[in-house]
Structure 1
Amino acid sequence: MPTDDRANPSAPAESTLWKGHSSQWVHFWFYLFCVLLAIGCLVALPFTGGLSIAGIVIPLGLWIARWWVTKATHYELTTQRLRKTSGILNRRLDELELYRVKDYSLEQPFVLRMLGLGNLSLITSDASTPELELKAIAGAEDVREKLRHAVQSERDRKRVRELDVDSSGGAGAISG
């Protein structure tokens, strides 16, 4: 059973390995739709007697809201946990203890790779966050490597290991 670091004064101090947030590029198609909608409202100006100018407020508002939500979501990888802070008016902090990370994968679609971005997906044994995806983060390969080393270090420090049990009844299954 993992120990609580607050009760152990000899536990190493937690330090930040990486901080970042998702890139706005993840919403490219949404932003393009907003631009096309605004252009449509401008083109309709002569046919609506100027009323379509009010329609520009909607795509502009949608653009600002999406941009702000993305900008307000922050990730912080420390030597002991991964923190995700999100929200504009109401803030939410989710913490994932690194020893609970079971698997991680890096995906770099062509467009994101050209921009130096990538998606990092985590599968965990955490009850509140079984899966976590860091979308369109800069330097995703470097972050994945830092995460890998931090997970192993934290498992060694806490003396925990992940145990996979096959319930399909195959050769490696535990049977009674």
Structure 2
Amino acid sequence: MNEETTFWKGSPSQWLNIGPFSLAILLSAGIVAGGIFFPPAFIGLMLPAIYALWSYLTVRCQTFELTTERLRITKGVINQNIDEVELYRVKDMVVERKWWMRLTGLGNIHLETSDRSLPHVDIPAISGCLELREDLRRKVEAMRDKKRVREMDFDETASDGAFDDMGDMI
């Protein structure tokens, strides 16, 4: 019997925090400007620092582990939530690379699954997303063959009757 092994483990890039980090810098600049006229306002510098730290930790504590059998997703800074999706349940994969992601060598992988608790899974801002998508596709197919599972979708609009291959009602 084959043993489950990890073939990729990673977490999103901190580039996801470009917005929160920029906001924290702008707020800090505003507080410093206000502190020139009202020195006790400098205490307010703790708020943007805490906000930036929390944003950092939220992304840092999110990990994705792809094994030969499943995708394990770990989220949470204080309390952890670990969820898993069996690879044979993956129905579709889409790679998204926005312009700023292409500049930084990152990309998002969106998965559509038949898992009831996680029908849509996003693996955001990871490097090497194209290679990972190909590895994942091969592992999904291998797992489907091993489990003898095939994914079938049914057309919900055809609920009134059955249709043949040409789309004609039978």
Q: Same fold (TM over 0.5)?
A: yes
Deviation, structure 1 residue 91: 1.4
Structure 1 residues 76-155: aligned runs within 5 Å: 76-155=65-144
Deviation, structure 1 residue 138: 1.2
The answer to whether the 8 A contact 1:167-1:174 is kept is no
Deviation, structure 1 residue 47: 1.5
Instruction: Supply the RMSD in Å over aligned alpha carbons.
Output: 1.7
| Consecutive unaligned residues in structure 2, runs of 5 or more | none
Paired residue for 1:20? Answer: 10
| Consecutive unaligned residues in structure 1, runs of 5 or more | 1-9
1:31 aligns with 2:21: yes
Report runs of 4+ in structure 1 exceeding 3 Å deviation.
170-176
Q: Quick one: which of 28, 31, 45 aligns to 1:41? A: 31
Deviation, structure 1 residue 69: 1.1
Identity percentage over the alignment? 38
TM-score normalised to structure 1 length: 0.89
Aligned AA (2:37): F
The answer to whether the 8 A contact 1:166-1:174 is kept is no
Deviations 1:138-161 (A, max 9, x none): 111111011100000000000000
Q: Quick one: which of 59, 83, 89 aligns to 2:48? A: 59
Deviations 1:70-89 (A, max 9, x none): 10111001110000111122
Deviation, structure 1 residue 13: 0.6
TM-score normalised to structure 2 length: 0.92
